[in-house]
Copies of this chain bind each other. A is one copy, B any other.
Amino acid sequence: MDNKYTTVIIPAAGKGKRMGAQISKQYLEIGDKPIIVHTIEKFDQSLLIHEIIVVTSKEEMGYFKEEILSKYHFNTPIKIVAGGNERQESVYNGLKNISPKAEIILIHDGARPFISKEEIEKSIEGAKVYGACVLGVRVKDTIKICNEEGYVESTPRRESLWAVQTPQSFQTSIIMEAHRKAAEEHFLGTDDATLAERLGYPIKIIEGSYENIKITTPDDLTIGEAILRKSL
Contact A164 B151 (CB under 8 A): no
Could you name 16 residue pairs across A and B whose Cβ atoms are closer than 8 Å? A136-B144, A142-B191, A144-B164, A144-B203, A145-B161, A145-B162, A146-B161, A146-B162, A150-B204, A152-B193, A152-B197, A152-B205, A156-B156, A158-B190, A210-B217, A222-B223
Chain A 4-40 interface 0/1 with B at a Cβ cutoff of 8 Å (1 = within) = 0000000000000000000000000000000000000
Q: Is the CB of B216 within 8 A of A222?
A: no
Q: Which residues of B contact A164 (CB under 8 A)?
A: 141-144
Q: Give the residue among A142, A163, A202 with the most B Cβ atoms within 10 A.
A: A142
A142 interface neighbour in B142, B146, B150, B163, Cβ under 8 Å: B163
* Contact-residue bracket for chain A: 35 or more
CB distance from A230 to the nearest CB of B (A): 8
Check B216–A223 contact: CB distance below 8 A.
no
Does the CB pair A142–B222 fall under 8 Å? no
The distance in angstroms between the C-alpha atoms of A155 and B136, with both chains bound, is: 13
In the complex the two chains form, is B145's CB within 8 Å of A156's CB? yes
Instruction: Give the shortest distance, in Å, between A144 (CB) and chain B (any CB).
Output: 5
Distance in Å: Cβ of A149 to nearest Cβ of chain B? 9
Chain B residues closer than 8 Å to A223, beta-carbon distance: 219, 222-223, 226
**CA–CA, A216 and B190, complex, Å:** 29
**B residues within 8 A CB of A189?**
155
Check A160 against B142 for contact (C-beta < 8 Å): no
Compute how far the CA of A175 lies from the CA of B36 in the bound complex, rounded to whole angstroms: 49
Which residues on A are within 8 Å of B, measured CB to CB?
134, 136, 139-147, 150-153, 155-156, 158, 160-165, 189-191, 193-194, 197, 202-205, 210, 216-217, 219, 222-223, 226-227
In the complex, given contacts A145-B161, A151-B202, what are 18 additional A-B residue pairs having Cβ atoms less than 8 angstroms apart? Answer: A134-B144, A139-B143, A141-B163, A141-B164, A141-B165, A142-B164, A143-B161, A143-B164, A144-B161, A144-B193, A145-B160, A145-B162, A150-B205, A151-B203, A152-B204, A152-B205, A155-B190, A155-B197
Q: Are B141 and A160 in contact (CB under 8 A)?
A: no
Query: Are A190 and B145 in contact (CB-based, < 8 A)?
Result: no
Query: What residues of B have a CB within 8 angstroms of the CB of A191 in the complex?
Result: 142, 155
CB distance from A195 to the nearest CB of B (A): 11
